[in-house]
């Protein structure tokens, strides 16, 4: 158990809908990362937050947004969902968000868009 | 450009065999960090090891060992006396000082250990 929690574990929804994925980092970690794992794209970095502020952005679609709250939990919002958004979404955390730090991953949220 | 290549898509071995998973990376940064993660069938990503670009010392942890060679830009992972529980997808990843804190992952190698 990495100490990172993600809810829900599974999510099934329809095209055009909006969903929110939630992540709680390990105790003491200030930085949160979101990754998408899909069959065609592999594991891809989406976005990073540090202590409530966006720090780095990757291949995140405009239909997707995220935020980190004062209690340090983070939410990833996916809107106007398409079939291709079906994937496993991971959250990871570490203490200071530095590249030398290990990122510890949550169990993931498996999203299926029908 | 940052890139991680795991050329072996899938490897099958019989229990107790040794197996090496290859990882080759590309970077222009002089300071970078390499990681291995394991993804068992249950789906979570489990951290195995971190190595920085200044430390070429090989590491052994139980049945696991890692060989880091800057000259060939490789960071290979060997499992000695493989067990069925080692069956998983293994990912190599890279992070760099210059490009921020994201991890760039390889495509992963599926390891199947048969009894």
* A15-37 residue pLDDT tens: 999 999 999 999 999 999 999 99
- Which residues of B are less than 8 Å from A90 in CB distance? 45
Nearest to A42 among B32, B52, B107 (CB): B107
Residue A42 scores a pLDDT above 90: yes
How are beta strands B24-26 and B3-5 bridged, if at all?
Answer: antiparallel
Q: Where are the alpha helices (DSSP H) in chain B?
A: none
Partners of A64 in the beta sheet? A78
At which residue do the structure tokens 């209690």 appear? A71
The reply to whether residue B43 touches residue A104, judged by beta carbons under 8 angstroms, is no
CA distance A100 to chain B (A): 6
Nearest to B103 among A31, A45, A108 (CB): A45
pLDDT digits (tens, 9 = 90+) for A45-57: 999 999 999 999 9
Partners of B29 in the beta sheet? none
The reply to whether residue B100 touches residue A55, judged by beta carbons under 8 angstroms, is yes
Minimal-distance CA residue of chain A relative to B50 = A102
pLDDT digits (tens, 9 = 90+) for B17-52: 999 999 999 999 889 999 999 999 999 999 999 999
Residue B97 scores a pLDDT above 80: no
């Amino acid at each position: 158990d990495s100490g990172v929690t993600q809810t829900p574990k599974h999510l099934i929804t329809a095209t055009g809908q909006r969903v929110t994925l939630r992540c709680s980092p390990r105790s003491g970690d200030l930085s949160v990362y979101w990754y998408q794992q899909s069959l065609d794209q592999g594991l891809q970095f989406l976005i990073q937050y540090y202590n409530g502020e966006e720090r780095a952005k990757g291949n995140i679609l405009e239909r997707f947004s995220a935020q980190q709250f004062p209690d340090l939990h983070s939410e990833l919002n996916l809107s106007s969902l398409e079939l291709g958004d079906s994937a496993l979404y991971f959250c990871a955390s570490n203490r200071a968000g530095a590249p030398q730090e290990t990122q510890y991953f949550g169990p993931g949220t498996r999203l299926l868009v029908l | 450009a940052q890139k991680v290549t795991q050329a072996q898509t899938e490897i099958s071995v019989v229990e107790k065999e040794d197996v090496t998973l290859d990882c080759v990376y590309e970077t222009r940064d002089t300071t970078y960090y390499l990681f291995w993660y394991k993804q068992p069938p249950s789906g979570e990503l489990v951290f195995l090891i971190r190595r920085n670009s200044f430390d070429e010392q090989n590491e052994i942890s139980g049945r696991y060992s890692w060989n880091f060679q800057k000259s060939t830009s490789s960071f290979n992972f060997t499992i000695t006396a493989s067990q069925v529980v080692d069956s998983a997808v293994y990912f190599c990843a890279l992070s760099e000082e210059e490009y921020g804190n994201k991890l760039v992952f390889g495509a992963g190698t599926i390891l199947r250990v048969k009894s």
